[in-house]
């Protein structure tokens, strides 16, 4: 059996000779290869080609996995065959008309009526699809596979399949696209996910990998600009244009400007708390607790991409940023909850900052308006003003004082006008000029 496996590897490696240049999965760079590296990259190259599986390759893959000691190779291949690589799915969720009124037969997993009146559609990415090229999924799976094959290791792959992987997390609710460079279009998308308030999404890790969030993600997918521009000219899946993907948040700061830290499971988190999850003393106050993460990034809604100076030279935000906002939450009965901030992501550094300047009542969407002035920014704020569940500190509010007509405050949720925020560029909260430490 092992000799058969070696023979297969030789066939796979055959197209490559010493010094060959191989376009690896996660980059357009080419690297000269030597010796053992050729065998390994050849296997990667082979696995990568499985994005476009044929029945023959499927069979081959199953044989390889079986030889490698995998208990159920057909299940693994079925997982790949299900179209879970980013951009592989070509079936549409949107329909040109409701299935009740269409003559198109409804088939589970297939497009419905696609006779759209204003043009064709094609999925760029679908929730649940994996980044088989650059994600931890591919690295761990393929590295393990290579090791098993070359070193006759008999470890089982399946624990890795289920515990590793960079997939697209849903539900998408807010996205934008911009040119990352001359050859790459970056699509940024956030998910409206509710973590332990509904179903927990896989965690993502920030601040050196030690701190984790479940709930809503902000992710990016990079596409080859040229291939994307021609995508609608053929039946090819968007996977043809796919280049890379990942989390748009690597570093995360809370409202106090602290790096978000691990949650204290036995008491208040006194430093680095994710403020929407805690009261003023750092006690966790969400009605349910993440089982596999420190914090809940709750229901990021209708995020919006703002391009630097989108309104003209010098006019508008100074950095290309992604404006997301926690929308609603469910708190335990507590008078000292803090509320829901916006989270603005510096896309260049993949850093998320909690923003208090819009107030803390939770928002559906925050978008930039044209300030028509270089020194200011203007944002339009929509929703909600306090959707915190059935328990809220109304009595505590009224104990502080009545309304200006002498009556009690009502809970603030959905009692608000259309709002705008006008910000001054380059100033700290007290209006003073920001200075670096030591510059005074």
Partner 1 sequence: MPNLYVTGSPAPASDFLARNGLRYGQIYGFATELATHRDTFHINATNGAKVSGKWLRGPWRWNGTVLPFIYDGSWDFQNQPVGYFGTNYTFWNGRGKNTRGAKMEHNSPGMLPPNFIFCFSL
Distance CA 311, CA 247 (A): 28
| DSSP codes of every residue in 390-401 | S---HHHHHHH-
Give the three-class secondary structure for 308. coil
- Distance of closest approach, residue 118 Cβ to partner 1, in angstroms: 18
- Distance of closest approach, residue 333 Cβ to partner 1, in angstroms: 13
Distance CA 245, CA 247 (A): 7
Which CB, 242 or 379, lies closer to partner 1?
379
Which candidate, 227, 232, 198, places its Cα nearest to that of 214? Answer: 198
Which CB, 88 or 249, lies closer to partner 1?
249
- Distance of closest approach, residue 1 Cβ to partner 1, in angstroms: 58
Give the three-class secondary structure for 240. helix
Which CB, 140 or 416, lies closer to partner 1?
416
Structure tokens at 412: 């603030």
Ramachandran assignment for 73, one of left (phi > 0), alpha (psi -120 to 50 degrees), beta (any other): alpha
- Distance of closest approach, residue 203 Cβ to partner 1, in angstroms: 25
Whether 157 and 65 have beta carbons less than 8 Å apart is answered as yes
Pairing state of beta strands 211-215 and 218-224?
A: unpaired
- Distance of closest approach, residue 362 Cβ to partner 1, in angstroms: 9
Distance CA 77, CA 62 (A): 7
Distance CA 333, CA 97 (A): 45
Structure tokens at 401: 């004082």
- Distance of closest approach, residue 16 Cβ to partner 1, in angstroms: 45
- Distance of closest approach, residue 287 Cβ to partner 1, in angstroms: 16
Give the three-class secondary structure for 246. strand
Which candidate, 333, 251, 265, places its Cα nearest to that of 294? Answer: 265
């Amino acid at each position: 059996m092992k000799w058969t496996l070696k023979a297969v590897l030789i066939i796979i490696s055959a197209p490559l000779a010493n010094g060959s240049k191989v376009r690896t999965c996660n980059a357009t760079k080419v690297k000269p290869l030597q010796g053992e590296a050729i065998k390994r990259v050849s296997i990667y190259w082979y696995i990568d080609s499985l994005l476009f599986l044929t029945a023959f390759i499927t069979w081959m893959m199953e044989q390889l996995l079986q030889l490698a000691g995998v208990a159920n190779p057909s299940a693994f291949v079925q997982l790949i065959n299900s179209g879970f690589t980013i951009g592989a799915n070509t079936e549409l969720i949107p329909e040109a008309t409701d299935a009740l009124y269409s003559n198109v037969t409804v088939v589970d997993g297939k497009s419905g009526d696609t006779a759209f009146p204003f043009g064709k559609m094609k999925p760029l990415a679908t929730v649940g699809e994996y980044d088989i090229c650059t994600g931890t999924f591919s690295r761990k799976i393929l590295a393990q596979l290579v090791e098993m094959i070359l070193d006759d290791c008999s470890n089982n792959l399946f624990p890795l399949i289920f515990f590793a992987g960079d997939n697209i997390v849903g539900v998408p609710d807010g996205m934008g696209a911009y040119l990352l460079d001359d050859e790459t279009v970056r699509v940024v998308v956030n998910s409206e996910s509710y973590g332990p308030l509904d179903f927990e999404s896989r965690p993502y890790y920030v601040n050196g990998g030690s701190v984790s969030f479940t709930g809503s993600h902000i992710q990016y997918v990079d596409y080859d600009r040229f291939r994307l521009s021609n995508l609608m000219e053929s039946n090819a899946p968007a996977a043809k244009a796919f280049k890379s993907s990942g989390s748009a948040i690597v570093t995360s700061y809370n409202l106090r400007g602290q790096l978000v830290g691990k949650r204290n499971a036995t008491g208040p988190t006194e430093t680095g708390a994710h403020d929407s999850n805690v009261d003023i003393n750092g006690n966790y106050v969400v009605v349910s607790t993440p089982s596999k993460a420190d914090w809940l990034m709750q229901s990021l809604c209708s995020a919006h991409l703002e391009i630097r100076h989108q309104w003209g030279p010098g006019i508008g935000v100074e950095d290309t940023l992604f404006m997301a906002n926690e929308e609603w939450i469910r708190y335990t009965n507590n008078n000292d909850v803090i509320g829901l901030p916006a989270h603005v992501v510096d896309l260049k550094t993949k850093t998320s900052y909690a923003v208090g300047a819009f107030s803390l009542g939770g928002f559906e969407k925050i978008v930039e308006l044209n300030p028509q002035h270089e020194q200011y920014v203007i944002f339009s704020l929509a929703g909600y003003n306090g959707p915190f569940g059935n328990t809220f500190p109304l009595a505590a509010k009224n104990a502080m004082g009545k309304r200006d007509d002498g009556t009690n405050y009502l809970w603030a949720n959905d009692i608000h006008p259309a709002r705008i925020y006008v910000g001054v560029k380059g100033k700290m909260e007290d209006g003073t000029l920001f200075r670096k430490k030591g510059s005074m």
